[in-house]
Amino acid sequence: MSNAKDTKTTKKAVNPYDCIKLENQLCFPLYVCSKEIVRRYKPFLDELGITYTQYIAMMALWEYGCMNVRELGDYLYLDSGTLTPVLKTLEGKGLVQRKRCETDERSVLVEATEAGMALREQAVTIPPRMGACISLSAQDIAELARILHKMIGGFPAE
């Protein structure tokens, strides 16, 4: 019966490149899942006439009401370089209103318009329909959510 040392010495030689095999990366399946899910949202979001990025911006505004661009960006993990054109597009569609904050002219306050709020009625039908493309058990989904939130909370500060 082999002891620990034997087990080690008889182990197959480790490929020095194993660590950069695509299949051994954590980032790659994350990247693929994220893209694939966003892509599969498209047919549903087309019904609402918005994109995925516009959708998560609306979700934040539906839930939290008026916010400035920085707060929205902190929440969505998006910077002003991304948000400014997204919010201008949503404004063009009549779904949000943008206005300078009166007490701090640097800030731009963003809020869903009446039409923007009304869009939520259609949006509620999306998550149950999207469920069909997620082939995970309720337990796996909960586990996945737990781990992802842990990862997000654990990124080193910059």
| Residues lying near its own copies in the complex (CB under 8 A) | 16-17, 19-22, 24-38, 40-41, 52, 56, 59-60, 62-63, 75, 77, 120, 123-124, 126-128, 130, 132-136, 140-141, 143-145, 147-156
Comparing CA positions, the residue from 45, 39, 40 lying closest to residue 132 is: 40
Burial of 120 (0-12, 13-18, 19+ CB in 10 A): middle
The interface with DNA within residues 46-75 (CB under 7 A) comprises 51-54, 68-71, 73
Q: For 68, what's the count of Cα atoms within 13 Å in the CB-facing half-sphere?
A: 10
Phi/psi of residue 21, nearest 5 degrees: -75, 135
Q: How far is the CB of 25 from DNA (least distance, A)?
A: 14
Separation between Cα atoms, residue 8 and residue 4, nearest integer Å:
6
Taking the least distance from each CB to DNA, the nearer of 68 and 97 is: 68
The interface partner of residue 156, options being DNA, its own copies, none and the CB cut-off 5 to 8 Å by kind, is its own copies
156 binds DNA (CB under 7 A): no
The interface partner of residue 44, options being DNA, its own copies, none and the CB cut-off 5 to 8 Å by kind, is none
113 binds DNA (CB under 7 A): no
In contact, 41 and 47? CB cutoff 8 Å? no
36 binds DNA (CB under 7 A): yes
